[in-house]
Amino acid sequence: MKEKIMKELKKIDDTYRVKVLSACESGSRAWGFPSKDSDYDVRFIYIHERDWYLSIDQKRDVIELPINDLLDINGWELTKALRLYRKSNPPLLEWLHSGIVYYQAFSVIEKMKQLSDKVYKPTACLHHYLNMAKGNYRHYLQNEQVKIKKYFYVLRPVLACKWIQKYNTIPPLEFQSLLEEIVPDGSLKKEIQELLERKKRGDELDFEPRIDSINEFVETEIEHLTQYAKSLDIQLEDPTQSLDQLFRDALYEVWGN
């Protein structure tokens, strides 16, 4: 599959006259709970030639390939990515810290990571994951019968919030890492672990009776985290100047003088 992904990335370079700077996995495979038929969610960051930026017109800043049964590939132009990075955008942070990297060129991504202390806003990330947990819980886990896979789209953001509360750092992508560090040994952890193994085996689409112990855990944590989020007020210096310089350096590094 990596060979196929690399061919698609090369085609993007040639078709759009850009340079792909990095490409990674961002979906359930990166989170550590793929099923047997999970597709590949490939996300990339790219940069245009210098003249593309010297224009009075706004231009499309994403590239999205048609989704097929196995591959979902889309990417963000570098200045778009840097503007989102300035906001501590959690999906972008996940791209930068994905454990499955298909491609990386030049020094841009490493320089972005080096600026994480200037950019990372725990409040923004906490609110993102908390809202995700609330929305998914409301839509997927309220009925008497639920699908196994939906538990993880609630549990993962809840555990990510708890990681932020505990460590004040960017949460790891891998669900197993969150589970091991955040949930104490006991019946709840065992129940979640068994659910994870079943999902990986493909037992994820059938409706089953709701697991009350997990629902109670989620409800309690959402209430607690909602109150905790109200207490956060962390201010950072504006990183725009550093990000502007990173972009200028990237233009020279990729395209030369």
- Using left for φ > 0, alpha for ψ between -120 and 50, and beta otherwise, residue 118 falls in alpha
Amino acid at 231: S
Give pLDDT, residue 34: 85
- Spatial contact of 98 and 30, defined as CB atoms under 8 Å apart: yes
Residue 160's H or E segment, with its range, is: helix 148-167
CA distance 66 to 89: 24
| pLDDT score recorded for residue 214 | 95
Q: What is the C-alpha separation between 183 and 165, in angstroms, rounded?
A: 14
CB neighbourhood size of 91 (10 A): 11
Give the position of tokens 């350096």.
249
Q: Is the pTM of this model over 0.85?
A: yes
Domain 2-117+236-255, CATH class in plain words: alpha beta
Q: Is the dihedral of CA 241, 244, 250, 253 positive or negative?
A: negative
Buried b (16+ CB within 10 A) or exposed e, 101-124: ebbbebebbebbeebbeebbbbbb
Nearest-10 Cα torsion for 139, 84, 26, 222 = -30
215 CB-contact burial (10 Å; exposed 0-12 / middle 13-18 / buried 19+) = middle
Domain boundaries, the chain: 2-117+236-255, 122-231
pLDDT for residue 36: 74
Specify whether the CB–CB gap between 87 and 56 falls below 8 A.
no
The residue among 232, 204, 26, 32 whose CA lies nearest residue 130 is 232
Beta bridge partners of 19: 47
pLDDT tens for the chain, 257 residues: list them: 999 999 999 999 999 999 999 999 998 899 998 877 788 999 999 999 999 999 999 899 999 998 887 899 999 999 999 999 999 999 999 999 999 999 999 999 999 999 999 999 999 999 999 999 999 999 999 999 998 889 999 999 999 999 999 999 999 999 999 999 999 999 999 999 999 988 888 776 678 899 999 999 999 999 999 999 988 877 889 999 999 999 999 999 999 97
